Structure 1
């Protein structure tokens, strides 16, 4: 009986101490793979992956990091005005596409709890500076992180803390845009 109880305690401890990453887009996300290696398997991020490839950012986001990526879903891209994504994917718009994508990246490994703490420490809002030179505002409410972009749009983190070998991904429901 003692052995059975000990086995149950060990199993519970192991499952909480080594909690697996959440699946994203129907695919497992592996901590030992980088941001790009995981993102290509997510059915919810095919538009983001195509955009990263078109912008020539595959090598950068496969690098050592650390990076925090706020990763918009296909549905987030679909909320943009008709034709926007197709237009951004054109070679002549690579500079603007790169700007938008790098505004989704922070040069840090910031888990949701870290973001919530810094937001609380700053009185409810904290300015985030991105790799793309954008300044966005992080907020938190009811244990959920939100990011306000340069145009006043608010993206909600729908899946937080997807650990990667070179950082962390937070899935968001809105594409973040720079101030105009």
Structure 2
């Protein structure tokens, strides 16, 4: 009969193996495989930000779901994707990315230090505000648009993904 300590060690080893295996994909590979972020991945690839997200990090990506992009404006997204000038699309995509690994716990700690609010600088260069509404972490862009984190802390090899329910924008597009 195995001792309880051996059982705990085996269980811990299994959990460590599963967690390590789950983090072998990059942010782009994982989001692409999710089946829920095809529009985001198309925009990331169109702006060539995928090369950065594949090879470096860590990054935190606030990833709008496909449903969030559909609510954003299909006409506006189509215009951004088909334009020869990808600067506005790149600005939009990079506004959803923060350098470093911001887990939900770190976001909450920053909000505690900031009296309920926290500010993060995106790789686009603009600030993204975070606050709580009930049990939800809510992000607010400079125009006052909000997005809720609906799935937090999807750890990847080179960062973390938080799925959000809306597209946030750095400036009027």
State TM-score, norm by structure 1: 0.85
What is the correspondence of 1:118-137 to structure 2 with a 5 Å cutoff? 118-137=110-129
Q: Does 1:106 align with 2:127?
A: no
Offset from partner CA, 1:32-55 (integer Å, 9 cap, x none): 111111111111100001111111
Compute the RMSD of aligned alpha carbons: 2.2
* TM-score, with structure 2 as normaliser: 0.88
The residue that corresponds to 1:54 in the other structure is: 46
Distance in 2 (alpha carbons) for counterparts of 1:53 and 1:17: 32
**CA deviation after TM superposition for structure 1 residue 81, in Å:** 2.8
Deviations 1:90-109 (A, max 9, x none): 13241000001000010111
Distance 1:57 1:117, change over 3 A: same
- In structure 2, C-alpha distance between the alignment counterparts of 1:121 and 1:139, rounded to whole Å: 12
1:146 has 2:152 as partner: no
Deviates more, 1:106-115 or 1:4-13: 4-13
| Displacement of 1:14 | 4.8
Does 2:14 align with 1:36?
no
CA–CA separation in structure 2 for the residues paired with 1:145 and 1:8:
37
Of 72, 76, 81, 2:68 maps to 76
Q: How far is 1:9 from its partner?
A: 3.5
Alignment partner of 2:89 out of 92, 97, 101 = 97
Structure 1 unaligned blocks of 5 or more? 22-28
- Residue 22 of structure 2 aligns to a residue in which SS? coil
Cα offset for 1:179?
3.0
